[in-house]
């Protein structure tokens, strides 16, 4: 899905602008190459990169972009490495003013895009002139869109990542109107494409389910029964976990389980019996039994599943 129209025209860079709220440049490549100012932050827009892995022993979640393929595609379209930070929107998009000329791209949930007040392409690189406002509209399908800018959003890194972690509070706070961010120096030319293919958000969310470490805490055949059940994505879902509504999973044991390590994709079953799928900002330990694990490569679809989306678990051996 691509909105009609084309990219804006180039213009000489504007004067350098200091970062607001202490959000200065950080890390290699950050500097006065460009800057952007938040005009409309949207319901929840955060800075995300590939996350801060390797800190679970400190109690720090991995975090990072929920829809990894969309994040990587947006960066590729503007010539960034996959590790560059993007903006992740939720449901209703956002709007930012670029203070210097820059190449940008919007991927993830299909949405209307406007640049400088004119329709612009979704899923393709577009050139923004200094002072232009890039508007990302509400998601037409799916939930989260990704905005990439050449050079990446150069927010201050924490433990090696610029990602906002909603659980621990690490990383730059969710965007508010008037925030300013520096951009890093561009590292490569934009992709030579008219539009890039991107998998669409699912009409029904199918999540493969590997055996979990605590399957013996549930009634015999509970994982198979889970595969026959029908669920929907609950409104309480967020970056920490995808929550469900539907039939309760029966447990064989009601005693307490000591807290143990958790991974992304772990499917916990709390006392109400409704499965919870851990996503990027999940806690690194948990005390509810895990009946199964959704493989990491299947989680991008969960990132784009809106509340009310039908959900089925598909038990698998590997």
Mean pLDDT of the region 114-138? 96
Residue 317: predicted pLDDT:
79
Strands (E), 197-265: 205-211, 231-233, 241-245, 260-261
CA proximity to 102, closest of 39, 2, 14, 163: 14
Which pLDDT score, from 0 to 100, does residue 143 have? 96
SS3 of the chain: helix, strand, coil, percent, to 5: 10, 30, 60
Question: Would you say residue 165 has pLDDT above 70?
Answer: yes
Q: Give all domains of the chain, ordered by start, each with its CATH number.
A: 20-184 (no CATH), 205-315 (2.40.100.10)
Segment 263-285 mean pLDDT = 95
pTM listed for this prediction: 0.87
């Amino acid at each position: 899905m691509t909105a009609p129209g084309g990219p804006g025209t180039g213009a000489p860079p504007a004067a350098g602008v200091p970062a607001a709220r202490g959000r200065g440049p950080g890390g290699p490549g950050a500097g006065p190459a460009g800057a952007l100012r938040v005009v409309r932050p949207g319901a929840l827009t955060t800075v995300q990169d590939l996350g801060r892995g390797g800190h679970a022993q400190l109690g720090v979640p991995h975090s990072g972009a929920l829809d990894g393929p969309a994040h990587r595609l947006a960066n590729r379209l503007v010539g960034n490495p996959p590790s560059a930070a993007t903006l992740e929107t939720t449901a209703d998009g956002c709007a930012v003013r670029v203070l210097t000329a820059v190449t940008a791209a919007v991927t993830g949930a299909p949405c209307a895009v406007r640049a400088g007040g004119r329709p612009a392409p979704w899923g393709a690189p577009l050139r923004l002139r200094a002072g232009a406002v890039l508007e990302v509209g509400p998601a037409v399908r799916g939930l989260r869109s990704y905005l990439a800018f050449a050079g990446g959003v150069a927010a201050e890194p924490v433990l090696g990542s610029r990602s906002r972690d909603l659980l621990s509070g690490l990383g730059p706070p969710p965007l508010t109107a008037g925030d300013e961010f520096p951009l890093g120096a561009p590292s490569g030319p934009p992709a030579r494409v008219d539009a890039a293919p991107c998998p669409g958000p699912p009409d029904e969310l199918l999540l493969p389910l590997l055996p979990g470490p605590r399957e013996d805490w549930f009634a015999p055949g509970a994982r198979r029964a889970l595969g026959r059940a029908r669920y929907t994505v609950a409104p309480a879902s967020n970056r920490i976990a995808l929550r469900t509504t539907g039939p309760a999973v029966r447990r064989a044991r009601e005693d307490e389980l000591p807290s143990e390590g958790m991974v992304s994709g772990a499917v916990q079953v709390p006392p109400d019996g409704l499965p919870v799928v851990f996503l990027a900002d999940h806690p690194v330990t948990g005390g509810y039994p895990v009946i199964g694990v959704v493989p990491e490569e299947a989680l991008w679809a969960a990132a784009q599943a809106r509340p009310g989306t039908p959900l089925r678990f598909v038990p698998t051996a590997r």
